[in-house]
Amino acid sequence: MITRAEIGHWWRVARPFPIASEAFWVGIFHDTVEDGYLPKILLRWWPALDAMTRRDGEPYPDFIERAAADLVARRVKLSDVRDNLSRNGGPPRQSLRERYEAALVVLDGAD
């Protein structure tokens, strides 16, 4: 079951983008396939969402590199990581903070 916390996160990730943009909708749906709410077959037709979806067994740095290679996914992943770093429920554990900060370096440098 989808929680309010998940919906809030999806909204915060999508909010920086115009509602009619692909980035907005990738932000809304960015965790839904990975978390099992939507079928993986959807990724075949939506490259930016595919780039935003971590694959089973994929190392996090490889996932970030893949997301950074897609312009829409890179912008949305930046929003996602920034939201994860500034969570309302308190700061992430140190290991997650380090992972997110390393991701920001890769994503910001992908221009």
Report pLDDT for 88: 60
Measure the N-to-C terminal CA separation of the chain; round to a whole number of Å: 37
Point out the least confidently predicted range of 2-6, 24-28, 51-55, 79-83.
Answer: 2-6
Single pTM value for the model = 0.91
d(CA 22, CA 24): 5
